[in-house]
Amino acid sequence: MSRIAKRFEQLKAQGRTALVPFVTAGDPEPTTTVPLMHAMVTAGADIIELGVPFSDPMADGPVIQRATERALAKGVRLADVLDMVREFRTQDAETPVVLMGYLNPIEIMGYDAFSERARDAGVDGALIVDVPPEEGHDLVATMKAQGLDLVYLLAPTSTQDRIARIGEVASGFVYYVSVKGVTGAANLDAGDVAEHVEAIRRTIALPVGVGFGIKDPETAAKVSKVADAVIVGSAIVSRIEALAERPAEIPATIGDFLSSLRAAIDAA
């Protein structure tokens, strides 16, 4: 059983919803990322989603685009992100880490090399935005051979056929995008989210995480009532951006924010 599957199994037994924060690796400084990861776990994160900087982040809104630009300006590349996970694993062997990014850096490294190095570093899975199931056969096979989960996005516009197709190849969990558009783009409708999550569950047995549009404890609590995981990205990254010139303050500040989300989710 993978670390991701084990974590969701534990949470289900406890009657709890996972909190999954997203941060861009290397933003605003490469040395900030690992301490921030540990601070997020201490604050109640169950799984960490770690963004791999890429020059054309098509699914991301301006907040995360700027985070990517800051990380790239510091020279952070895929190999550096794997090194960060490896360092994180020296103190935390339990918290699942999922990379989120795009295909190009993986193609440059090579599918086999990426999958092997990711496994060796302690990565548990990846969400690769621009690899639809119809085109990812080689990558899926290579990752699964190394025991890595491949997480896929589902949208409000996904048909039941599309959901079923993704269910054939996804593992770990699926990520439901609660709003149309890019990250941080709009406010979510909790009732609409509930309907779509139920439709996904009729077809896919994996846990369903919900992200995009979760900005505060109130929306996190609403989503936690219908989802298996609450995924928060832009609300965290915007706080990191505000402290880009004071990176030492970032772990504590983000930890406090996540603690407020965790409390709201648990209370719901």
SS3 state of residue 252: helix
195 is catalytic: no
Is residue 28 reached through a cis peptide bond, with omega within 30 degrees of 0 on the bond before it?
A: yes
The dihedral built from the CA positions of residue 268, 203, 234 and 17, taken in this order, carries a sign that is: positive
- Residues contacting residue 64 through CB under 8 Å, at least 6 positions apart: 22, 24, 51, 57, 183, 184, 233, 234, 237
Q: Are 54 and 29 in contact, with CB atoms under 8 Å apart?
A: no
SS3 state of residue 147: coil
Out of 60, 83, 149, 228, the active site residue is 60
* Residue 9: its H or E element: helix 3-14
19 DSSP β-pair partners: 230
CA–CA separation, 164 vs 211, rounded Å?
20
CA–CA separation, 221 vs 131, rounded Å?
31
Chain centroid to CA 174: how far? 10
Q: Are 228 and 211 in contact, with CB atoms under 8 Å apart?
A: no
Question: CA nearest 151: which of 123, 184, 116?
Answer: 123
CA–CA separation, 151 vs 173, rounded Å?
6
29 is catalytic: no
Out of 49, 124, 149, 228, the active site residue is 49
CA–CA separation, 160 vs 239, rounded Å?
37
**20-to-40, 70, 77, 265 alpha-carbon distances in Å:** 9, 22, 23, 12
**Which residues are designated catalytic?**
49, 60
